[in-house]
Amino acid sequence: MAESTREEKSSSVDLGFVEETDSWRLLSRFFPSKVGGKPAWLDLLSVPTACELACGVCGKPTVFLLQVYSPRTEQATCFHRTVFVFCCRDPACHTANSSACFRIHRSQLPRQNDFYDFEPPDEDTPPPEAEVWQAEKVWNLCCVCGCGGGKACSRCHQVRYCGKEHQVLDWKAGHKAACGAEDSSLPTAHVQLLFPEFDLVTEAEDWREETEGAGKDEEEKLRECEEYMRQLRQTQEGAGGSGLKEKDLEAAARQETEEDQQFSVFRRRVRKEPEQVLRYDLGGVPLWVSRQHVPSTEDIPDCTCGAPRQFEFQVMPQLLNYLQVDSLKESIDWGTLAVYTCVNSCDVGKAYHPEFLWKQNYSETALTGASV
Ligand SMILES: [Zn+2]
Ligand SMILES: [Zn+2]
Ligand SMILES: [Zn+2]
Ligand SMILES: [Zn+2]
């Protein structure tokens, strides 16, 4: 995403940050990267349907989380290119280390296409209000979630829905009163379903490995490890020594320490830019929060075209702070979400190509042992 300054940096990563902006700047025609609200679809004709965006756990429609505009200038078919991430709104579907409630789609277009001007858009002039709202009707999008809207309201035929689920939500939220009225096509927009909307801006990561600091940290970790083993041995002795053998204790302690080390590597890297919500590094390696549940190459399924997938970007836990998902009981949660896409960015199949996401949660030891 960043221009050609990469080579001089010791990091190949672009960081993403959320920013407030005028909502018109996040419309499809401006090719935005964005968080929350409705998706700004790239290909406008064959947007994913409710079925394609159904949560793999509860089966209800997922909600738009974010999209990353990431063209590949070397590939004519990817002059415009956007990767979309959706997730279920129900915290109960967000189980640890499972990506079953996420949906990923990639869309791309050549410079000459059916939807957008050949020349870049005028970014200083907001489009007329009516024209903006018109797009949803023209392209038959669900007025609640902005996804493919296969059903129209059978009474007024003025609004469309991706399915029964969102029709019922909208009916309760205001369409019941608006249906049949002169302006029934106006958005009700009271449905508390979408995530808050933000612009997603990127800048190159300015980072170099601080060897001195790292060395100190290793020493600290070694001391912690020794202390931990001493405690373990005491516990064992106190319990009559009938449990684990010393060899097992050492192995367990080593494993836990390595685990914490990964978490401190993560924290050290993020500390300089703690507000980062995204790390973009096409073909790179994700910054894992834990050594547990790291995928091997076999864990990343090939694209339907037969080519392997490569890492493209990861969503950071910091994003959760902007989503207003905290509740007393349970909450949507992740350590990191790593998104993998087709190495060829192929055009096989539909306009929206399913891609792959790997979710990693914090390990138990990292959470209890360190101040996050
Ligand atoms: Zn669900
Ligand atoms: Zn919908
Ligand atoms: Zn109606
Ligand atoms: Zn492919």
For 268-295, write each residue's pLDDT tens digit: 999 999 999 999 999 999 999 999 999 9
Find the ligand nearest to 349 CA.
4
Q: How far is the CA of 126 from the centre of ligand 4 (A)?
A: 36
Has residue 138 got a pLDDT over 80?
Answer: no
Predicted confidence (pLDDT) at residue 233 exceeds the cutoff of 70: no
What was the pLDDT predicted at 125? Answer: 83
Ligand 1 ion: Cβ-proximal residues, 5 Å cutoff = 55, 57-58, 88, 90, 93, 101
- Whole-number Å distance, alpha carbon 166 to ligand 1 midpoint, is 14
When pLDDT is averaged across residues 313-330 and rounded to a whole number, the result is 86
Residue 61 Cα to ligand 2 middle (Å)? 7
Q: Separation of 78 CA from ligand 1 center, angstroms?
A: 32
Quick one: pLDDT band at residue 244, thresholds 50, 70, 90?
A: low
Q: Label residue 369 by pLDDT band (50, 70, 90).
A: low
Q: Are 366 and 260 in contact (CB under 8 A)?
A: yes
C-alpha of residue 235 to centroid of ligand 4, in Å: 54
Which ligand number lies closest to the CA of residue 305? 4
- For 146, counting Cβ atoms within 10 Å of its Cβ (0-12 exposed, 13-18 middle, 19+ buried), the class is buried
- Specify the pLDDT at position 363: 81
Q: How many angstroms does the Cα of residue 36 sit away from the middle of ligand 2? A: 14
Residue 9 has pLDDT above 50, yes or no: no
- Dihedral, CA atoms, 6, 7, 8, 12, nearest 10 degrees? 50
- CA 169 to centroid of ligand 1, rounded, Å: 16
Q: What is the dihedral of CA 274, 277, 280, 281, to 10 degrees?
A: 50
- The alpha carbon of 4 and the centre of ligand 4 are apart by a number of angstroms equal to 26
For ligand 4, the distance from its centroid to the CA atom of residue 103, given in whole angstroms, is: 16
Residue ranges per structural domain of the chain: 4-124+192-204+275-369, 211-271
In this structure, what token pair is assigned to residue 13? 């990563």
Asked whether residue 189 carries a pLDDT value surpassing 70, the answer given is: no
User: How many of the other CB atoms lie within 10 Å of CB of 250?
Assistant: 15
Ligand 4 midpoint to CA 30 (Å) = 26
- How close is the Cα of 312 to the center of ligand 4, in Å? 14
What is the rounded distance in angstroms from the CA atom of residue 151 to the CA atom of residue 159? 9
- Residues lining ligand 2 (ion), CB within 5 A? 142, 144-145, 162, 166
Which residues hold their Cβ within 5 A of ligand 3, which is an ion? 153, 155-156, 179
* C-alpha 202 – ligand 1 centre gap (Å): 30
Task: Tell me, in angstroms, the distance from the centre of ligand 1 to residue 214's CA.
Answer: 41
Identity of the residue numbered 12: S
What is the rounded average pLDDT for all residues in the chain?
85
DSSP 3-state assignment of 353? strand
Quote the pLDDT of residue 217.
61
Length of the chain equals: 372
Distance from residue 184's CA to the centre of ligand 3 (Å): 7
More confident residue, 98 or 127: 98
CA of 147 to the centre of ligand 3 (A): 18
- Ligand 3: distance of its center to the CA of 136 in Å? 15
Band (180; pLDDT cuts 50, 70, 90): confident
Average pLDDT over residues 297-313: 97
Question: What pLDDT is stored for residue 258 in this prediction?
Answer: 74
Start-to-end Cα distance in the chain? 29
Instruction: Please say if the pLDDT value at position 348 is more than 70.
Output: yes
* Helix and strand element counts for the chain (H, E): 6, 12
Tens of pLDDT, residue by residue over 153-166, are: 999 988 899 999 99
Residue 135 Cα to ligand 3 midpoint, Å, equals 18
Ligand 3 centre to CA of 132 (Å) is: 20
Asked if residue 333 lies in contact with residue 361, where contact means CB atoms within 8 angstroms, the answer is: yes
- Cα of 232 vs centre of ligand 3, distance in Å, is 66
- Among all bound ligands, the one having the nearest atom to the CA of 159 is 3
CA of 23 to the centre of ligand 2 (A): 20
Instruction: Report CA(353)–ligand 3 centroid distance (Å).
Output: 32
User: 128: pLDDT confidence band, cut at 50, 70 and 90?
Assistant: confident
